[in-house]
Amino acid sequence: MSKLQLSVAVGNYDRVRPLIDGAVQIDGVDPVFMNLPPEEIFFRAFRSMDFDICELSMSSFTVKTAERNCPYVGVPAFVSRAFRHNSIYVRKDRIKSPADLKGKRVGLPEYQLTACVWARIILEDDHGVKPSDMIWVRGGIEHAGRPEKITIKLPGGVHMEDAAAGTTISDLLERGDIDGFIAPRPPSLAGKHNPNIGWLFDDPIANLAGLILPAVAVGYRYSAVSMRMTRSTVLEVLREDYVRTARAKGLRETIVVVRHALRNALLPVVTVVSLEFAFLIGGLVVTEQVFNLNGIGKLLVDAVAHRDYPLIQALVLLLAAVFVLVNFVVDMVYVVLDPRIRYS
């Protein structure tokens, strides 16, 4: 029996490469793989349905599914993954922070593009800049006259205009006619010769500095308890006979304290840490609200406020599973700290 021939259009991702090179076979299918740019795949898929199987824009697929006229059945396989903080380019001579984008003109290839959706979520949820706070300019990244894959209805209050004929949003950013640029790939004309063009977030890793105060607020109380417990147990162990013997053998004080005293003193400390972990999780609820952080605690509070019972149940189950996992790890640590402990 001959195999079914199906056309498969997908980008060159490591997650699908075993399928493309034949290392992983599809039962009963003789696939014809086409390695194409995502933009071409999405356009041809929605406009003319050229492929039997293909990757799709998550946002465009969601819109078409909501309209009940999507030609494809979705499979939740996320072949392309990226942090979208670096999808936002701005004129650094004008824009110093996300708040500076309010009232400014921002270019983008398509409003419903998935990368643009994620970038707008970051701007609104983390920095309070709503889509309606900006003027959107739609145009091709490198080629003028880019058509939209699908027709959408813009949300109320959102204003969007087309780039002038024959121009791209890369050109507009280079000339300074727009203040920002959001797209899944960087503008080739920008940044090479113009030092005033760059990421809105110069170093996404530097944003971790914003977690220092929340981490201190959550952990300082529990760290004090752990330190006090560690000190008292170490002082108690240092009076034991085997520690006195280790010193009599001429071992350095550092080795005596770290290798002989501290290791044996950690058993009650580890127990206390595992118990305090539950209170630490509870503290996240308040901390995330105070520092306006998007996390499990804030999500749980919002779910309770909106009476989203399935989400509440899922979060409670997740937190309970994490707590059980922490206690399991603690039990394993006991064996490492004290080889005399055995689970049979």
pLDDT digits (tens, 9 = 90+) for 119-132: 999 999 888 899 99
pLDDT band at 190 (very low <50, low <70, confident <90, very high): low
Cα–Cα dist 302/294, whole Å: 11
Residue type for 270, please? V
pLDDT digits (tens, 9 = 90+) for 30-78: 889 998 888 888 889 888 899 999 999 888 888 889 888 888 998 888 8
Check residues 102 and 152 and name the one with the higher pLDDT: 102
Q: Domain residues of the chain, as ranges? A: 4-66, 84-202, 208-337
Each as own residue / partner, the long-range contacts of residues 334-342 (CB below 8 Å, 24 or more positions apart, any chain) are: 334/267, 334/270, 337/263, 337/264, 337/266, 337/267, 337/270, 338/264, 338/267
The pLDDT > 70 percentage for the chain reads 96
Q: Is 294 left (phi over 0), alpha (psi -120 to 50) or beta?
A: beta
Reported as a pLDDT band with limits 50, 70 and 90, residue 207 is: low
Q: Which residues pair with 217 in a beta bridge?
A: none
Q: Is the pLDDT of residue 191 over 60?
A: no
For domain 84-202, say whether CATH 3.40.47.10 is its number: no
Nearest by Cα to 276 from 210, 234, 330: 330
Six-digit token string for 290 = 């105070």
Q: Which helix (H) or strand (E) holds 212?
A: helix 212-237
Q: Quickly state the pLDDT bin for 184 (edges 50, 70, 90).
A: confident
Question: Do 217 and 224 form a contact (C-beta atoms < 8 A)?
Answer: no
- What is the percentage of the chain residues whose pLDDT exceeds 90? 11
d(CA 176, CA 94): 10
Q: What is the pTM of this model?
A: 0.60
pLDDT class for 206, splitting at 50, 70, 90?
Answer: low
What pLDDT sits at residue 135? 92
Asked whether 50 and 163 are in contact (CB, 8 A), the reply is: no
Tens of pLDDT along 261-279?
888 888 888 888 888 887 7
pLDDT category of residue 16 using cuts at 50, 70 and 90: confident
Average pLDDT estimate for 153-175: 87
